[in-house]
Amino acid sequence: MLSFASRDNLKRLCIIRGLFISAISLALWWAHTHLQMSLNFSLIGSILLVNLFVITASVLRLRSPTPVTPGELFGQLLFDICSLSLLLFFSGGATNPFVSYYLVPLSIAAATLPWFYAWGMLILSLLAYGMLLFFYVPLAELYPQIRIQGDLHQMAQLHVTGMWLNFVFSALLITVFLVRMASALRLKQQQLALHREQQLHNEQIMAVATLAAGAAHEMGTPLSTMKTLLNELKTEYREHPDLPADIQCLIQQVELCKKSLQQLVEQGRQSQPVPLNAKKMLSQLQNRWQLMRPQCTVNTAPLELPEHLQLLTDPALDQALMNLLNNAADESSQIELTARYQQPQLIITIRDYGKGLSTIDTERLGTLFYSGKKEGLGIGFTLSQATIERFGGEVKLYDHNQKGTITEISLPCLPLEITSDRT
């Protein structure tokens, strides 16, 4: 984004240069035809031609796809300072009315470039202006009093010195306040862009949630029909040696689906999260998930958690953790589940023994509708991440140093002194 802004600023700088050259050319014509001033028109004209050449080169450079860096834009402004100093040197130095043009490149640097470029431009402008107080080709037509000795000469010198002091004061004000204003504006723009991105992300999640609610409503009737038929099949084939066990497994799976739908309805009715014991929550989570994925093996280390440790939860958080467990089980049939208390957070770690994260997964995982699995929908991890972040938590994914992927979930816990008082 910064490179596009620098490109636009370079375009505007070329326009400003063109207007400045036009103004100088008009002033030179007026000085030559009406004022008969003794200027070195050929040398000043050569400096203006160099400026035209730089404008042309800059316009051609803007056609290139190469981004314009802040350093390049600073170099362009530095050229303007140097060319202006040469023009003023041959036309009266600090006594030339155009000397205040130093404020233009200084203002551009303060408004568009990082602060160290702006302060560098301030120092260079003050040095250039200060040198022109002593080294320049004088023009008696500008200040004829300078040729007169006495009070008039001192007044003229005081006037020029006062112009320099006014420039120093104005330049400092521009650099200090304009740099701060520009920095605040850029920060505000970044915050607005982040807010728009987050709002778009939330809108996408809400759209998916609405579709999920509609799908859940439609699934109620088929699941009830399946449960009824499975019970009939279990009764009809109760003498078969293998079928009843398989049918019972299917009935359990249907019950899990119906329970998930019921939790979805309860979540819509439940307005506030409720506190729940951390050990109890993890135990219920593991038991429910094991029923859903009986073919998977879960190695659980002893939960070294305080007895009274509680956290706020609701069905959405429970489902988010289930999704992360399912993602791990999709990578390997064996996973590890651990939890520890790291005040003030509960850290849940899920490790699988799959292939690990690819470069594309690292960059795009968490983007809605992107999935690293062939048959994945690309919504499970995104919704889980959004739910956990809504509770003030965080999800991190990284490769294990030996094999597989580690999913680390951090959730804020209630203070232990509060939970102890409740018990």
Is the per-residue pLDDT at 146 higher than 80? no
Is there a contact between 119 and 74 (Cβ–Cβ < 8 Å)?
Answer: no
Q: Tell me whether the omega of the peptide bond preceding residue 344 falls within 30 degrees of 0, making it cis.
A: yes
Nearest to 99 by CA among 164, 31, 29, 18: 164
Give the per-residue pLDDT at 341.
Answer: 86
Is there a contact between 136 and 89 (Cβ–Cβ < 8 Å)?
Answer: yes
Is there a contact between 46 and 87 (Cβ–Cβ < 8 Å)?
Answer: no
Rounded Cα gap, residues 108 and 175, in angstroms: 10
Spatial CB neighbours of 237, under 8 Å, sequence gap ≥ 6 = 243, 244, 247
Rounded Cα gap, residues 131 and 94, in angstroms: 9
User: pLDDT by residue (tens digit) across 107-118?
Assistant: 888 888 888 888
Spatial CB neighbours of 71, under 8 Å, sequence gap ≥ 6 = 117
Is there a contact between 111 and 182 (Cβ–Cβ < 8 Å)?
Answer: yes
Where do we find the tokens 């050929």? 42
What tokens were used for 41?
Answer: 């028109």
Give the per-residue pLDDT at 150.
Answer: 47
Is there a contact between 383 and 208 (Cβ–Cβ < 8 Å)?
Answer: yes
Rounded Cα gap, residues 336 and 300, in angstroms: 6
Rounded Cα gap, residues 121 and 114, in angstroms: 11
Is there a contact between 244 and 237 (Cβ–Cβ < 8 Å)?
Answer: yes
Q: How confident is the model at residue 42 (pLDDT cuts 50, 70, 90)?
A: confident
Q: Phi and psi at residue 416, in whole multiples of 5°?
A: -60, -35
Q: How confident is the model at residue 209 (pLDDT cuts 50, 70, 90)?
A: low
Q: How confident is the model at residue 50 (pLDDT cuts 50, 70, 90)?
A: very high
Which range among 111-120, 212-221, 309-318 has the greatest average pLDDT?
A: 111-120
What tokens were used for 414?
Answer: 């209630």
Where do we find the tokens 């043009």? 101
Rounded Cα gap, residues 267 and 260, in angstroms: 10
Is there a contact between 278 and 346 (Cβ–Cβ < 8 Å)?
Answer: yes
DSSP state of 423: -
What tokens were used for 321?
Answer: 């953790």
Which range among 288-292, 325-329, 363-367 has the greatest average pLDDT?
A: 325-329
Is there a contact between 386 and 368 (Cβ–Cβ < 8 Å)?
Answer: no
SS3 category, 341 = strand
For all residues of the chain together, what is the average pLDDT? 76
Mean per-residue pLDDT, 324-347 = 85
Give the per-residue pLDDT at 402.
Answer: 80
User: pLDDT by residue (tens digit) across 229-256?
Assistant: 777 777 777 777 777 777 777 877 777 7
Is there a contact between 103 and 64 (Cβ–Cβ < 8 Å)?
Answer: no
